[in-house]
Amino acid sequence: MPEREWDMRAPDGVAAHRSRRVTLAVVAIAVLGLLARLAFLGDRIAHWDEARVGYWILNYAETGSFMYRPMIHGPFLHQVNAPLFSLLGPNDFTMRLVVAVLGAALPLAALLFRDRLRSTETIALAVFLAADPVLLYYSRFMRSDLPLAVFSLFAVGFFVRAIDTRRARWFHASVLSLALAFTTKENVLITLVTWLGALVLLADHRLFLDRGFDRGWRTALRRRATWIRRTVRRWTPHLLVGAFEFLAIVVYFYAPRRTDAPGFDDLLTDPTTLPAVVGEATLGSWNAFYSLWVKGGHQDHSYLPYLADYLETLSTGSGALIVLAVVGFLADRYAGDRPRDLVAFCFYWGAVSVLGYPIVTDIMAPWATIHAIVPLAVPAAVGVGVLFARGRAALADDNRAAVAAVAIALLLVVAQIGIVATNDVYLDSQSDGNELVQYAQPADDFHPAIDDMAAVSATNEGTDVLVYGEFLVAERSGAREPGCTKWFNLLPIPWYTESTDATVSCARNVSAFERQTAGNPPPIVIGLTTDRAFLADRLDGYDARSYVLRTRDTGKTNTTFFVDTSRLPANATGGTEGNP
């Protein structure tokens, strides 16, 4: 049954007024969350993974050719960012914009649970979803984990609304959200497993709570089975329509475009290819996923170090939320008259994610904690509600010591969130000392060099950028642009050369470099910092700027840009930021 605070304690008019105030508060929190996500969104230099995926999205936007690549996860970001790049241009801001907007929408999911949560809890949930440092950091990061978490929470929220209101539109909205979750990342299968486990535990709760001691558990089980049977019978038409909606969305996103495989463009010109397109989008994608992520051995690692890293990120970025989630779950389970299904479900969902993600993830990555933080925000909001209730009771009893204790606890929560968010999300978003930063994030900001590269490419004739050295230059040309480079070693620079339309050449050794630079060297040369002295001797008058391309760099990818500032357009800045 719905558990609205105003239904239990207030007349209908007062209840409606409170409901409007809660809605306005949540919307205001979402707006502030949007501003927090858009502020300085393009300032951080692209992470290695952002650049890798961004390049392929840009390639799709330019060529129209798309094939599901499980290594870069689901096609959602491809399908939404490609037209955005075409409309607004490719850069670090537009690359992250969709994820930022989805992250800003996350607090609105709290309204879907307002019949299951009290007003204080609903607002607290919105605050956690808007301001939690990990969620805030990775709402400003182009990666599929945050969209997956957003669509998963909305899918649960819409389904809960369908149960509470018995209106079909909420069920179809849940199907839409779940289908979109399937287009983001393969981890959605892990989410389904955690949901199944949570439902099993909830079924056990219900059997225990609903059983009459004079009738036994068999009677309770029969009653539940009858209710499920009647519900399925009533909703069968909607289930069938929902299955079609789910399949249509999955096929639209996963179907290849302009490839040798049957694709979406073939379907538009020849409807008889529908079975082949559906098969390629579903079974073909599944086979590609299974070959890489199940059979590929990406999970062959020790469990405990990954668990320790996961817990360290949780404690640093979301410590207050985790503590309050435990408090909220225990208080709801043992202090109330009847544990709420929603609170227990979300706690189990989050707890299983904490234990399970260190098993299935292929690298130590802070973004994996998103999948535990989002569901745990619900019991954490209940924990805030417990503190507020204790504070009100102490205030009514004039218990100043208890009021002070509650106030201090709430201030500590605000301080933890505010300090970590301010420092780790905005002031120090790239350093190795930031627990929220994954190690493939460049430690330095080389946007000034990229700005000069863009300025050069707009006016220069011939080669704009020359890449030097065996570590950065391939023996044979590859399929990616710039094809002469060792693409993975050079990332994230290829994202910038491609997005600025720079023409790139390569020199793998000294003789190749001398041939390429004879007479008129390119305006920009890129090489490892270990080759800086060699390059400086041969690039007289160039401005040398060295940058660290990984936060945990062993020296292999410390890179120097040599820029001939005399060849920059008159309106270019010719910035000299970097390590001398």
Rounded average pLDDT per 10-residue block, the chain, 580 residues: 43 69 96 97 95 94 91 93 95 97 98 95 97 97 97 97 92 97 94 92 73 57 74 83 94 91 84 90 89 75 92 95 96 84 95 92 92 98 95 89 92 94 93 90 94 92 94 85 88 94 94 90 95 94 93 78 90 54
Residue 18 lies in a domain: yes
Q: Which of 175, 157, 141, 38 is nearest to 106 (CA)?
A: 157
Sign of CA dihedral 49, 53, 59, 62: negative
DSSP label of 522: -
First vs last C-alpha separation in the chain: 66
Is residue 38 located within the same domain as residue 135? yes
Domain identity same for 532 and 390: no
- Bridge partners of 560, per DSSP, are 527, 546
Q: What is the pLDDT of residue 5?
A: 41
The two most distant CA atoms of the chain are separated, in Å, by: 97
Same domain for 68 and 197, yes or no, is yes
pLDDT of residue 338: 77
Q: Are 334 and 459 in the same domain?
A: no
**Are residues 139 and 90 in contact, defined by beta-carbon separation less than 8 angstroms?**
no
Of 374, 403, 419, the domain-final residue: 419
Same domain for 148 and 204, yes or no, is yes
User: Does residue 412 sit in the same domain as residue 464?
Assistant: no
Q: Are 235 and 277 members of one domain? A: yes
Task: Assess if residue 386 is contained within a domain.
Answer: yes
Task: Report the distance separating Cα 292 and Cα 510, nearest Å.
Answer: 39
Q: How far is CA 501 from CA 338, 459, 467, 493, 494, in A?
A: 62, 11, 15, 12, 10
3-class state of residue 560 by DSSP:
strand
Q: How much is the pLDDT for 215? A: 54
Count of all residues that appear for the chain in the document? 580
* 29 and 165 assigned to the same domain: yes
- Regarding whether 161 and 59 lie in a shared domain, the answer is yes
Helix (H, G, I), strand (E, B) or coil at 473: strand
Query: C-alpha angle with apex 473: 469 to 475, nearest 5 degrees?
Result: 115
**Residue 424 token pair:** 């780790």
pLDDT score of 254 = 94
Q: Which of 377, 404, 419 is the last residue of a domain?
A: 419
CA distance 434 to 425: 9
pLDDT of 7 reads 43
Give domain status of residue 7, yes or no.
no
The reply to whether 1 falls in a domain is no
**SS3 call for 201:** helix
* Residue that has been written with the tokens 């910092």 in this structure: 529
Q: Indicate if 328 and 460 belong to the same structural domain.
A: no
C-alpha 465/C-alpha 502 separation (Å) is: 7
Indicate whether 465 and 386 sit together in one domain: no
* Contact by Cβ (8 Å): 149, 394: no
Count of domains for the chain: 2
C-alpha to C-alpha distances, 142 to 55, 101, 375, 507, nearest whole angstrom: 12, 11, 21, 32
Q: What angle do CA 555, 557, 558 make, to 5 degrees?
A: 65
Return the pLDDT at 555: 66
**Cross-strand bridge partners of residue 466:** 505, 525
Residue 439 lies in a domain: no
Q: What is the dihedral of CA 104, 491, 358, 296, to 10 degrees?
A: 120
Query: Which amino acid, 43?
Result: D
Residue 426 domain flag: no
Peptide bond into 339 cis (omega under 30): no
pLDDT score recorded for residue 300? 77
Nearest to 376 by CA among 415, 312, 320: 320
Q: Is residue 575 part of a domain?
A: no
Structural domain that includes position 498: 446-567
CATH of the domain at 536: 3.40.190
Kindly state the tokens that stand for 69.
Answer: 């690549």
pLDDT number for residue 100: 98
Q: Which residues contact 387 (CB under 8 A, 6 or more apart)?
A: 406, 409, 410
45: which DSSP letter? P
289 and 254, same structural domain? yes
The answer to whether residue 108 sits within a structural domain is: yes
In contact, 502 and 465? CB cutoff 8 Å: yes
> Residue 75: is the preceding peptide bond cis (ω within 30°)?
no
